[in-house]
Amino acid sequence: MEVTSTFAETRGLYGGTVGLLPTLGFFHEGHLRLMGLLRERCDTLVVSLFVNPTQFNDPGDFDAYPRDIERDSELAGGAGVDILFAPSVEEVYGGVSITTVEVTGVTDEMEGRHRPGHFVGVATVVAKLFAGLRPEMAMFGRKDAQQLVVLRAMTSDLRFPIEIVEAPVVREPDGLALSSRNVRLGSTGREKALAISRGLFQASEQVDAGEGRGERLEATVGRSIRSLQVDYVKLASLKTMKPIADLSEPAVLAVAASVDGIRLIDNVMFDWIEGRPRPDRGVFLDELSTLTSLP
């Protein structure tokens, strides 16, 4: 595996189709599994590692974001990555850098409302990665559901000829969604955080049993996470990312809540299959060894 820091040297190493997994680094098992899934689809697998300062609306959160490039290089090498692209802030934002990318509408609610400026930072950095690295495909996780919808819109609007590949939410066997932030949870924090996935799974069971009212589903999750500091629990359309009253179209039940000051997000998407909503709870680490292709 090569570790690069400029767009030009990275492109110089390509052979065949190029797949990109953009990341903020501090890899966990979920990243490694996604690398494995993308590995099967492309000839050159590039993973970008860049803690993008412009998407952190809270400077404290940016400073506290875990970083360890040596550990990340070892893990990525073991996962079959060809190129780990770890640029400097200067490489990404140097030069004139007075252009930003703002995706409107789908960014109004949820993360967009609670993290002002966040999606401009995300869309801008991903547009720069796309323009600088020019992959044929790029993978984003369903865990960041709103980000996925924002980046699909950006890719299509700006006519990037790049296929967006969706990756499932990856969970610990007990349901906790994997996140680089989980390392900051102590064991009691981890226990408290489990209330998020538990609430989402209870709501999913209600949907399986025929419940479709947004307020009922949100109330179920709300009860489960009542001891956390909740930013939002929302049933939203996957098309508009606006809250909806009923589960009558593809939707996401999304949560953001803090546990001991550590902000976590999680969701269950409801795909529309054979005329009814099917909860996508993601994949569990103990099942993943048998997962050979994307669900």
**Catalytically annotated residues:** 31
Closer residue to ligand PAF (CB): 11 or 128: 128
In whole angstroms, how close is the CB of 262 to ligand PAF at the nearest point?
16
Tokens 């993290």 map to which residue? 115
Give the whole-angstrom CA distance, residue 259 versus residue 210: 31
- Tell whether residue 23 is a contact of ligand PAF (CB under 6 A): yes
Question: Alpha-carbon torsion 222, 225, 230, 235, what sign?
Answer: negative
Tokens 């494995």 map to which residue? 36
In whole angstroms, how close is the CB of 39 to ligand PAF at the nearest point?
18
Residue type, 178: L
In whole angstroms, how close is the CB of 141 to ligand PAF at the nearest point?
7
Candidates 10-18, 119-127, 206-214, 240-248 — which segment interacts with ligand PAF by CB under 6 A?
Answer: 119-127
Which residue number has the CB closest to ligand PAF?
Answer: 22
Closer residue to ligand PAF (CB): 144 or 172: 144
**Which residues fall within 8 angstroms of residue 12, CB to CB, at 6 or more apart?**
none
- Tell whether residue 122 is a contact of ligand PAF (CB under 6 A): yes
Binding mask 35-74 for ligand PAF (x = CB under 6 A): -----------------x--x-------------------
Candidates 22-30, 38-46, 171-179, 202-210 — which segment interacts with ligand PAF by CB under 6 A?
Answer: 22-30
Candidates 20-28, 105-113, 164-172, 211-219 — which segment interacts with ligand PAF by CB under 6 A?
Answer: 20-28
In whole angstroms, how close is the CB of 21 to ligand PAF at the nearest point?
9
Q: Tokens for 218? A: 């949100």
- Of residues 127-156, which lie at the interface with ligand PAF (CB under 6 A)? 144, 147
Give the whole-angstrom CA distance, residue 156 versus residue 34: 23
Give the whole-angstrom CA distance, residue 111 versus residue 115: 6
Closer residue to ligand PAF (CB): 73 or 202: 73
- Tell whether residue 24 is a contact of ligand PAF (CB under 6 A): yes
Closer residue to ligand PAF (CB): 146 or 197: 146
Q: Burial-class residue 53 by CB neighbours within 10 Å (0-12, 13-18, 19+).
A: middle
Angle at 12 between CA 6 and CA 17, to 5 degrees: 110
- Tell whether residue 111 is a contact of ligand PAF (CB under 6 A): no
CB atoms under 10 Å from CB of 229, counted, come to: 12
Closer residue to ligand PAF (CB): 24 or 207: 24
Phi, psi of 160 (to 5 degrees): -70, 125
Angle at 284 between CA 32 and CA 293, to 5 degrees: 60
Angle at 201 between CA 195 and CA 203, to 5 degrees: 100
Closer residue to ligand PAF (CB): 21 or 233: 21
Residue type, 20: L
Phi, psi of 148 (to 5 degrees): -60, -45
Contact positions vs ligand PAF (CB under 6 A): 22-24, 52, 55, 122, 125-126, 144, 147
